[in-house]
Each structure stands twice: as structure tokens, then as C-alpha cells.
């Protein structure tokens, strides 16, 4: 069930007016998309922050003066420079039954069996689905990973009717040898390869300098 939000139209959009709204416990917001003009509104700060903590992405927005509500998708949250105060929120119109494209957080669980450097290549996954089917997160189970193992997008278990927009062979995470181990191995190989020509060169040089047969006397 969608979270219902009450909203009020706002006629001013300046920074001073937005600051005054925030002092009153309101957040300036804009509703965009579907080829319609941007609609400036205000929403209750406490209600929105509560929904944000619960990872709510889809809302039923009921604007004062409008007969019908509209389903919207949380598109962007703009914070202040300290990341403490919400400056503005952008909602995107999302008619029911119409698929939308969103990024969903990847949640990594477990500890790999192998010992190495665990690398996360993706932090989220862009998917396409109906708004009501947007998952809160997508689980990536790493418990069975051995050294040099990789997990790709195709290995993820996506919910039904949720399609990835990222190629199936894209790497999500991998377990590689520690960088120090790789460098030591490379140095050892390079050292072994470089010693042979140096030794050969030294032997040739010694023969050419010390051999009495090459003396002019």
C-alpha cells in the first residue's frame, strides 16, 4: 500500500521563502514528469523523514485543491552542505501500471570463504518495474566466494517482474588476491627474468677484458 502524503501548493520558490518553510517544519518539493509542468508543493518534514528512514519510494500525493491524488516516485533528495537538513525533494509522476526505471541499493551479506581483497564493483543496480514492485534492496550473498571468484548481475536473484537494465555479465563484486601478494609475485617474476641476462652479460664481459689472447702485446 502506498504511503499517503498531504501536500499544499506553493506560489513562491525563492531561497528565502524555502528557508521560511523549513522553519515551519515543511519541506519544499517539486512534482515533475509525464510531460507536465513542474508543480511546486510543500510536504511535512517529520512525515517525510519518517518515510525516508523506512526506505519508502512510492507515495500517493494528495494536493490540496485537487480532486484526485497522484502516484509519485521519490526521485531526488537535496541536502544542505552538512548533510543534516533536507533542502528540497523531487517527486516523479508514476502512473499506476506503468514501468519506471530506478536504482536499487545492493546489500552485501556474509563473509567470503577465501582470504583476499573483496571488491564491490557496483553499489546499486538500475532496474525497471512497476512502482509497486520496487524492492527496498537487492541481496548479494558472498558467503561461498573463494579466491578469484566473481558475482555478476546475472547471478543475482531478482524479484519477479523486476528486470535489470545492467548487462548480465557486469561484475557486481569479486574476491582478488591481496595487492601486496600480487606485487611480490610480479617482482619475483621480474627479478628472475632480469637476473639471467645480467649474469650472461657479466660473464661475456669478463672474458673479453681478462683474456690475454685479445691483448695487443
Distances (CA, A) of 7 to 16, 27, 30, 98, 138: 20, 10, 11, 23, 31
pLDDT value at residue 162? 96
Inter-residue contact 73 to 60 (CB < 8 Å):
no
What is the helix (H) or strand (E) element at residue 182, kind and residue range?
helix 179-210
pLDDT value at residue 212? 47
pLDDT over 60 at 133, yes or no: yes
pLDDT value at residue 46? 92
pLDDT value at residue 2? 67
**DSSP letter string over 72-134?**
EEEEEEEE-TTSSSEEEEEEEE--TT--EEEEEEEEEES--SS-SEEEES-SEEEEEE-GGG-
pLDDT value at residue 187? 59
Q: What is the mean pLDDT of residues 85-108?
A: 91
> What domains lie within the chain, and their CATH numbers?
3-94 (2.40.240.10), 101-176 (2.170.120.20)
Q: Could you give the CA distance from residue 160 to residue 70 in angstroms, rounded to a whole number?
A: 25
For 21-74, write each residue's pLDDT tens digit.
Answer: 888 889 999 999 988 999 999 999 999 999 988 888 899 999 988 888 899 999
What does DSSP assign to residue 154? G
CA dihedral in degrees (156, 157, 163, 166; nearest 10)? 0
Q: Could you give the CA distance from residue 105 to residue 137 in angstroms, rounded to a whole number?
A: 5
pLDDT value at residue 122? 96
| R_g of the chain, CA atoms, integer Å | 30
CB-based contacts of 51, cutoff 8 Å, min separation 6: 3, 5, 59
- Give percent of the chain above pLDDT 70: 81
pTM here?
0.65
Amino acid at each position: 500500500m502506498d504511503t499517503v502524503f498531504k501536500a499544499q501548493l506553493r506560489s513562491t520558490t525563492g531561497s528565502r521563502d524555502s528557508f521560511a518553510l523549513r522553519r515551519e517544519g515543511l519541506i519544499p518539493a517539486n512534482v515533475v514528469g509525464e510531460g507536465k509542468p513542474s508543480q511546486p508543493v510543500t510536504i511535512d518534514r517529520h512525515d517525510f523523514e519518517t518515510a525516508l528512514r523506512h526506505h519508502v519510494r512510492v507515495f500517493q500525493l494528495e494536493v490540496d485543491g485537487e480532486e484526485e491524488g497522484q502516484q509519485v516516485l521519490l526521485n531526488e533528495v537535496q541536502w544542505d552542505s552538512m548533510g543534516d537538513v533536507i533542502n528540497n525533494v523531487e517527486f516523479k509522476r508514476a502512473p499506476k501500471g506503468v514501468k519506471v526505471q530506478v536504482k536499487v541499493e545492493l546489500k552485501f551479506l556474509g563473509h567470503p570463504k577465501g582470504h583476499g581483497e573483496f571488491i564491490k564493483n557496483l553499489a546499486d543496480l538500475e532496474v525497471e518495474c512497476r512502482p509497486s514492485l520496487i524492492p527496498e534492496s537487492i541481496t548479494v550473498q558472498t558467503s561461498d566466494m573463494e579466491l578469484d571468484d566473481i558475482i555478476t548481475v546475472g547471478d543475482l536473484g531478482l524479484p519477479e517482474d523486476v528486470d535489470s537494465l545492467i548487462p548480465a555479465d557486469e561484475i557486481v563484486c569479486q574476491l582478488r588476491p591481496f595487492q601486496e601478494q600480487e606485487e611480490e609475485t610480479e617482482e619475483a617474476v621480474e627479478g628472475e627474468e632480469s637476473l639471467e641476462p645480467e649474469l650472461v652479460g657479466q660473464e661475456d664481459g669478463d672474458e673479453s677484458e681478462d683474456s690475454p689472447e685479445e691483448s695487443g702485446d
